[in-house]
Amino acid sequence: MNIGVLALQGAFREHRRLLEQLGASVREVRLPTDLQGLSGLIIPGGESTTMGKLMLDYGLREPLRAFAAQGHAVWGTCAGAILLARDIRGVPPQFGTQPSLDLLDMTVRRNAFGRQVDSFEESLQIEGLESSFPAVFIRAPVIESVGARVNVLARHQGQIVLVRQGALLASSFHPELTHDTRLHELFLKVARAPLLTPSR
């Protein structure tokens, strides 16, 4: 299966390594033509302001929206989750409005768990996984609210940190920075059969 990782900035190599470990063939996506023939795409963590700007500069916003509209699986982790959100809060005023793909019906607040030094790892209970998942949070966003079609799959201290809406997934944390492959396996399952996989 061909899976893309948006490679404008951020932790794309780590996602690539995990996906390849699971047998996927991975393409780094930098241009709209790179999306051809892919079954799914991961938007990594990094800096959502920079990534959003590069996304516009490279003419990727509309092609990415079209890719998702075709029903392909798209998973945003941390900054990637911010880019998927319909509504982004906590953007410093000097950045103006932040570009978003406006795909997932949720409101996110940037850097809601604190500063870089406040990064932490936490065992999360995730719906559908039998044992807890080691989740790494780095200047992570919180998902403040979600629309009716969005399923909440995990919370940390009451705050939403993992959601699914059809073939779209968003996590506040970085599963690519651990050795636990279960969320990448879930993503590949969705990418294989986006319309067949139950959303819970």
By CB under 6 A, name the one of 6, 138, 170, 191 that touches ligand GLN.
138
- The dihedrals phi and psi of 42, each to the nearest 5 degrees, come to -110, 135
By CB under 6 A, name the one of 41, 55, 79, 124 that touches ligand GLN.
79
Nearer to ligand GLN among residue 40 and residue 45 (C-beta): 45
Q: Residue 73 half-sphere exposure, CB side, CA atoms within 13 Å?
A: 26
User: Rule CB under 6 A: is residue 78 a binding residue for ligand GLN?
Assistant: yes
Neighbouring CB atoms inside 10 A of 162's CB total: 25
For residue 171, is it left (φ>0), alpha (ψ between -120 and 50) or beta?
beta
User: Rule CB under 6 A: is residue 172 a binding residue for ligand GLN?
Assistant: no
Look up 78 and say whether it is catalytic.
Answer: yes
By CB under 6 A, name the one of 29, 43, 68, 82 that touches ligand GLN.
82
User: Rule CB under 6 A: is residue 194 a binding residue for ligand GLN?
Assistant: no
Q: How many helices (H) and strands (E) does the chain have?
A: 5, 12
Look up 179 and say whether it is catalytic.
Answer: no
By CB under 6 A, name the one of 47, 87, 122, 144 that touches ligand GLN.
47
| Spatial contact of 151 and 199, defined as CB atoms under 8 Å apart | yes
Instruction: Tell me which of 14, 15, 72, 78 is the catalytic residue.
Output: 78
DSSP 3-state of 30: coil
| Spatial contact of 119 and 136, defined as CB atoms under 8 Å apart | yes
Is 3 assigned to a binding site?
no
Nearer to ligand GLN among residue 53 and residue 155 (C-beta): 53
List, by residue number, the catalytic residues: 78, 174, 176
Binding site for L-glutamine: what residues are annotated?
46-48, 110, 138-139
